[in-house]
């Protein structure tokens, strides 16, 4: 795995924050330099084409018009902006899978919404046939799913969910924080949001929200004289922003598009399969099976995953996540060690992890 001129770790932590490519880092550095040389607002104006290109590329990935994307600070900020502007009201019923990201549950509950657990199969994927049958009785305001779950290798059937819910007038919101740059996004969702820093390998501090045009009229957004003619989704952005981060993200997205979303998805599926295969026989650990590039290892000999994560980093230069139950409090998974390698992961890296865990 690229170790950025010798000082880097074996990076198995893309689900937290992926490793930026040198070209992304250089684009950020060059923009910061231009801000100092020419003034921050002038540098932003001069970067106009690149920023427009970023919006166009993201809109294409999310399947919305260019004005349907708001650049915000994070996935969390994006969901909050969506909840506030939709707006979600106390008593609204949000269908969720038990594997739902914990902070999202907290955001829905803080808005007074009721999180309604949907029926799932043995892996935890929403049972879309059962949902079709139950849809009327569940009286859902909307369905919200994480296309890819954070804490284990679980992929939700977003296209099937859209097919089941949309004809019944139930909008589908998608948390694509672990999906964007990892898997192709499904068309037809009412809203989706994600972050730059994970599988796209963009910088921290940039997130995005996309809303399908048929829902723009319902968004409660304050008009701003400073931005006459701006559409409702764009008005969800805050005035100040990390422009250098957006410039870096523009480069990361272009790299992703050049690599090909389908090719990246199958490559990451292979990386995930190889990870699970290589770690299957490591004593004291049980691999949580699934699909995609995120792998959870369950300790079976009483290890503290936070201690193990720290020792892997300090003694072996291997970066992983200690995944604690707050990530998905309704999913029956205890603390795990999470590995989330990207396409640059090598078989030697996996052998090194297996040896370190042994
Ligand atoms: C599934 C999921 N949703 C939402 C988020 C929150 O994104 P952010 O940290 O950008 O607010 C994360 C972050 O790890 C996540 O894994």
What lines the ligand 1 site, CB under 6 Å? 74-76, 101, 146, 150, 175, 177-178, 195, 207
148 CA distance to ligand 1 centroid (A)? 11
Q: Which atom of ligand 1 is nearest to the CA of 150?
A: 16
Task: Say what the pLDDT of residue 258 is.
Answer: 98
**Of all protein residues, whose CA lies closest to atom 16 belonging to ligand 1?**
150
Question: Residues 354, 3, 75, 176: what is their CA dihedral angle, to the nearest 10 degrees?
Answer: -60
pLDDT tens sequence across 102-127: 999 999 999 999 999 999 999 999 99
Phi then psi for 240, rounded to 5 degrees? -90, 145
Best of 79, 178, 336 for a ligand 1 pocket test (most atoms within 8 Å of beta carbon): 178
62 CA distance to ligand 1 centroid (A)? 17
Tokens representing 82 are 């969506």
- In this structure, CATH architecture of domain 22-259: 3-Layer(aba) Sandwich (3.40)
5 CA distance to ligand 1 centroid (A)? 29
Task: Say what the pLDDT of residue 4 is.
Answer: 59
24 CA distance to ligand 1 centroid (A)? 21
pLDDT tens sequence across 3-18: 555 568 999 999 999 9
181 CA distance to ligand 1 centroid (A)? 14
What is the arithmetic mean of pLDDT over 270-297?
A: 97
Phi then psi for 287, rounded to 5 degrees? -80, 130
**Of all protein residues, whose CA lies closest to atom 13 belonging to ligand 1?**
177
Task: Say what the pLDDT of residue 6 is.
Answer: 57
What is the arithmetic mean of pLDDT over 87-101?
A: 98
Task: From the options 3.40.50.1970, 3.90.1300.10, 3.40.190.10, 3.90.1150.10, give the CATH code of 10-20+260-357.
Answer: 3.90.1150.10
Mean pLDDT of the chain: 96
Task: Quickly state the pLDDT bin for 173 (edges 50, 70, 90).
Answer: very high
Task: Say what the pLDDT of residue 134 is.
Answer: 94
Q: Is residue 40 over pLDDT 90?
A: yes
What is the arithmetic mean of pLDDT over 137-147?
A: 98
Task: Say what the pLDDT of residue 31 is.
Answer: 98
**Of all protein residues, whose CA lies closest to atom 1 belonging to ligand 1?**
150
Tokens representing 258 are 């050049």
What is the arithmetic mean of pLDDT over 301-327?
A: 97
Query: What does the radius of gyration of the chain's CA atoms come to, in whole angstroms?
Result: 21
Task: Quickly state the pLDDT bin for 333 (edges 50, 70, 90).
Answer: confident
Task: Say what the pLDDT of residue 1 is.
Answer: 53
pLDDT tens sequence across 235-249: 999 889 999 999 999
CB 20 within 8 A of CB 350: no
Q: Is residue 332 over pLDDT 80?
A: no
Distance CA 311, CA 116 (A): 39
Paired with 105 in beta bridges are none
Best of 108, 195, 199, 331 for a ligand 1 pocket test (most atoms within 8 Å of beta carbon): 195
104-113, 225-234, 309-318: the lowest-pLDDT one: 225-234
Task: Say what the pLDDT of residue 122 is.
Answer: 94
Q: Is residue 350 over pLDDT 60?
A: yes
Task: Say what the pLDDT of residue 217 is.
Answer: 97
What residue ranges do the domains of the chain occupy? 10-20+260-357, 22-259
183 CA distance to ligand 1 centroid (A)? 16
What is the arithmetic mean of pLDDT over 242-262?
A: 98
Tokens representing 7 are 């000082």
**Of all protein residues, whose CA lies closest to atom 12 belonging to ligand 1?**
177
Share of the chain above pLDDT 90, in %: 95
Higher pLDDT, 4 or 46: 46
């Amino acid at each position: 795995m690229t170790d950025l001129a010798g000082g880097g770790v074996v990076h198995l932590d893309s689900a937290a924050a992926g490793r930026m490519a040198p070209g992304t880092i250089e684009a950020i550095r060059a923009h910061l330099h231009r801000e100092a040389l020419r003034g921050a607002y002038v540098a932003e104006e001069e970067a106009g084409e690149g920023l427009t290109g970023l919006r166009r590329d993201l809109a294409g990935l999310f399947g919305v018009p260019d004005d349907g994307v708001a650049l915000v600070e994070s996935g969390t900020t994006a969901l909050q902006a969506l909840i506030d502007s939709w707006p979600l009201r106390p008593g609204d019923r949000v269908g969720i899978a038990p594997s739902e990201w914990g902070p999202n549950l907290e955001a829905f509950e803080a808005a007074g919404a009721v999180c309604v657990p949907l029926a799932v199969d043995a892996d935890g994927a929403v049972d879309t046939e059962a949902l079709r049958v139950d849809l009327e009785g569940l009286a859902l305001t909307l369905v919200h799913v994480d296309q890819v779950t954070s804490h284990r290798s679980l992929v939700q059937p977003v296209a099937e969910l859209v097919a089941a819910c949309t004809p019944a007038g139930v909008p589908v919101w998608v948390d694509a924080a672990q999906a964007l740059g990892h898997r192709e996004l499904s068309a037809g969702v009412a809203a989706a949001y994600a972050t730059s820093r994970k599988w796209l390998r963009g910088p921290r501090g940039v997130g995005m929200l996309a809303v399908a045009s048929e829902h723009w009229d319902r968004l409660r957004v304050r008009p701003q004289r400073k931005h006459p003619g701006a559409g409702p989704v764009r008005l969800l952005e805050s005035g100040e922003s990390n422009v250098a981060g957006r410039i870096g993200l523009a480069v990361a997205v272009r790299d992703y598009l050049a690599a090909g979303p389908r090719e990246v998805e199958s490559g990451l599926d292979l990386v995930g399969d190889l990870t699970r295969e290589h770690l299957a026989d490591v004593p004291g650990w049980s691999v949580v099976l699934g699909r995609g590039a995120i792998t959870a290892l369950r300790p079976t000999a009483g290890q503290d995953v936070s201690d193990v994560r720290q020792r892997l980093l300090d003694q072996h230069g291997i970066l992983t996540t200690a995944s604690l139950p707050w990530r998905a409090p309704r999913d029956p998974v205890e603390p795990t060690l999470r590995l989330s390698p990207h396409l640059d992961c090598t078989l030697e890296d996996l052998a090194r992890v297996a040896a370190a865990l042994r």
